[in-house]
Copies of this chain bind each other. A is one copy, B any other.
Amino acid sequence: MKYETETLTRRQEEIYNFLRDHQEHFSTAPTLDELCKMLGVKSRGSLHKHIQALTEAGLIEPAEKRQRGIRLTSYEVNHVDELPFLGRIAAGSPIEAIEIPESIEVPQMLRSNGQCYVLQIRGDSMIDDGIFDGDWVVIEKREQARNGEIVVALIEGREATLKRIEQCPNEVILYPANSTMKPMHFSPEQVQVQGVVVGQMRSYR
Measuring CB to CB, which residues of chain A are less than 8 angstroms from any residue of chain B?
27-29, 31, 34, 63-65, 67-69, 76, 79, 81, 104-110, 112, 127, 130-132, 135, 149-150, 197-205
Contacts and interface: CB of A to CB of B under 8 A. Distances in A.
Q: Is the interface of A mostly helix, strand, loop or mixed?
A: loop
19 contacts: A28-B28, A34-B65, A67-B67, A76-B108, A81-B81, A104-B109, A106-B107, A107-B107, A107-B201, A109-B201, A109-B203, A130-B135, A197-B204, A198-B205, A199-B201, A199-B202, A199-B203, A200-B204, A201-B201
A137 to B, nearest CB: 9
A63 B20 CA distance: 23
Contact of A130 (B105, B110, B202): B202
Contact of A79 (B81, B104, B150): B81
A79 B135 CA distance: 24
A110 B110 CA distance: 13
B64 A27 contact: yes
Contact of A65 (B28, B105, B203, B204): B28
A10 to B, nearest CB: 30
Contacts of A204: 149-150, 197-200
A107 B105 contact: yes
